[in-house]
Homo-oligomer: A and B are copies of this chain.
Amino acid sequence: MIRPAELIERKRDGGRMTPEEITELVLGHTRGEIPDYQMAAWCMAVYFRGLTGDETLALTDAFVRSGSTLDLRSALGRSVVDKHSTGGVGDKTSLVVGPIVAACGVPFGKMSGRGLGHTGGTLDKLESIPGFRVELTTDEFVKQVREVGLAIIGQTPDLVPADKQLYALRDVTATVDSIPLIAASIMSKKIAAGAEAIVLDVKVGDGAFMKSVDDARKLAEAMLELGRGAGREVVCLLTDMDQPLGWAIGNAVEIREARGLLAGEESPPDLFALAVQAAGRLVSLSDLGVDVDEGTRRAERAIDDGSALEAWDKWIAAQGGDPSPDVLPDAAVRKEFAANRDGVVARISALGLGRVALDLGAGRRTKEDSIDHSVGLRCFAKRGEPIEVGQTLVEIHARDEASADNAIEQIGPLIELADESPPPRPIVLETLT
């Protein structure tokens, strides 16, 4: 029997724990035998001292073992792919990538989360679609991946309960920001959910969890190692979150944008580039046996030939939603924020715009808040783009005049126009395999 206080002390002093000790600690906590206060102290010690690769692997393994796991290969007789983003502003990539990949003939099965603070959540966005059900049972999930080739649902409660419990504790004890703890939390969910090939999108920038490429790389490397340890194919993309991804920030507005891209409508180039690259990677990691270049070509083709849009419609309908964009909720008030000078966009705060959308009601400050699916922003300004005075930079979708005006007031300082173009920064900053 382990003594939690001794393990906390050892970690506090920079010592190492055995895999058995990590397992006992985590599962003891989940069983209610080790109290929250000891786990909180341990997490803070880990915040300062870190975890070794072996410790992180043991932690991930303990999370996975705390609940049930899905074996999608056995269930489908095929390799299923998944994609995860560490969260950002305007990040609707999964909504686009899922249908593209499915259209390429690669089964895509993802369990996703809700938004908190300035970062949106895929489930919240999907719930702007009337009738769409995010809470499927495991059996329904497997069946849909098998028959429709695509499912995105909320995490089932029997998956990684230890992580769920520990994350809730970390959230209120300022111990979320620890790379090994984040890596174990993300990867345990991905591993338990059963996909064999995973593309991880690690966002970097002011609107992301990771503010620097260095930190993002560390997280990516930790996750790659955990994926390898569990026998999964993983690729990490470090992608730019120093400006919102695409134009739309919100829920219904993002669903429109995602579907618009698949429908071949005019779309934000950064979202298009990321979606095609991520989808191309997933296709190349799948059991189709093609390389990245061929995967990327197939992804582009799926958009061009309408098969990705078809996959979208089929998927939305399979989960009970109405795939027509006409049924999406519209905000009562629309206002525009225009440029007050000529110039080039030098800087846009993703964090700032995420907060404006949050204020409009598109997100939740606390887990208990409810979301207004109709509100949000469309920010057409993109770093490096030339702008003319009077040009619409942001379209505000608000529930009333007052909140629209309030948003406009806040937006001013978030978009900086200058005479000189900033150095270019691609959407995909690095790819780690």
Contacts and interface: CB of A to CB of B under 8 A. Distances in A.
Contacts of A169: 37
A173 B11 CA distance: 11
A16 to B, nearest CB: 15
Given A5-B174, A9-B174, A41 B38 contact: no
Given A40-B40, A48-B48, A174 B12 contact: yes
- Of A4, A12, A44, A47, which is in contact with the most chain B CB atoms at under 10 Å from its CB? A44
Interface string A1-41: 00011101100100000000000000000000001111111
Nearest to A11: B174
A175 interface: yes
A41 B166 CA distance: 13
A338 B37 CA distance: 48
Contacts of A47: 12
Contacts of A9: 174
A169 to B, nearest CB: 6
Contacts of A39: 37
A38 B40 contact: yes
A43 interface: yes
A266 to B, nearest CB: 42
B5 A37 contact: no
A41 B173 contact: yes
A5 B48 contact: no
A67 B396 CA distance: 54
Interface in A29-65: 35-41, 43-45, 47-48
B172 A37 contact: yes
Contacts of A41: 40-41, 43-44, 173-175
A95 to B, nearest CB: 31
A1 to B, nearest CB: 14
Nearest to A49: B48
Contacts of A172: 4-5, 37-38
A205 to B, nearest CB: 20
Name the residue among A6, A8, A37, A39 with the largest chain B CB count within 10 angstroms: A37
A45 B174 contact: yes
A43 B44 CA distance: 9
A5 B6 CA distance: 25
A230 B38 CA distance: 33
Interface of A: 4-6, 8-9, 12, 35-41, 43-45, 47-48, 169, 171-175
Given A8-B174, A44-B48, A48-B48, 15 more contacts: A4-B172, A5-B171, A8-B173, A12-B174, A35-B36, A36-B36, A37-B40, A37-B173, A38-B172, A38-B173, A40-B173, A41-B43, A41-B173, A41-B174, A44-B45
- Pairs A-B, 3 closest by C-beta atoms: A44-B44, A41-B173, A9-B174
7 contacts: A8-B44, A35-B37, A36-B37, A37-B172, A40-B41, A44-B44, A48-B48
